[in-house]
Structure 1
């Protein structure tokens, strides 16, 4: 009987070569499983914290006391203070007449403000780097919300304290005066109301 020397086998038939190939496949499979596990975990974490809409974003302010807002009304005399709203949810939207996305989201903001007008939620619009006449013309054209407060922010002092870098940006402040969530970009009625409900139900802010 003729015996075959393993050293004489072709590389594909060599026992050691096949063993190494099996080990490589096993390691590749383990790496793939680990990678999928990490991706799945990230999806769960980010979905749980920020929701499904990517416009609901993280901010270093979330979970911390909201910066002070004490500004003059846009169209009338007097000063509005955030501190006086303690115990209510406050939705602060930074907008301007020249902002295209602000125009697109305006009706949704008014609708959400009307929905929560008598339910302990105050909507506030802070005019950002705008001309007073242009801002008023914008509101004349687009409409003013029921119970909606519009404020002027000369020098963008409040916007700077909130870290606003592009509008529209919308901040949600819980009844204890802490920032609970932030929307970057155009908001919608659905994301506005779902975020408010998250605060009312105690699921926001979602902190690690």
Structure 2
């Protein structure tokens, strides 16, 4: 069975950080590679899987641009930030992996530093003060452009050209329902991996299987009772 694995990069990085903690860019990339490999060797996955390619979708880091930071009261050069360094290390490690294809969109021109939602709540309830704020209380916010579209186009292309028998999508967004429906109409076995996250009912309705690979301790659960739908 020829299998393509498609990874929504923003989703993966957020879930991986939540499940398995902070890691360097290089280590996170190695972790992603290992995570994809577990799908290929999953005996419950419906037979032997031969990897067609892993498609990774994300946005390249922004360089040579400055954004105002309200705490510092000064502009921050993005190409000198820790995020820029981390992301470049992450991408460079992925490029070394066999059969990995990076499909990059771009970030919106409108970007800023915002307070984290939980910090805002604490300020509003009087449990934090403005004087107590640190750089760790802020997050960099920029909207991705073109990533979801690239995922949808590639799903359609893989299905229409009969390049694969199975698609495994690592994501959690219901925006992919039309693409999933198209793939299934073309006879593609469509598996969703939400990395233990919840998904909407409409997305669940239009997939052939639901399977996440690792638990919170970064261990493969071969005999887990993970949500799995078989048709």
Higher relative contact order (CA 8 A, sep 6+): 1
Tell me if both proteins adopt one fold, taking TM over 0.5 as the criterion: no
Q: TM-score normalized by structure 2?
A: 0.30
Q: TM-score normalized by structure 1?
A: 0.33
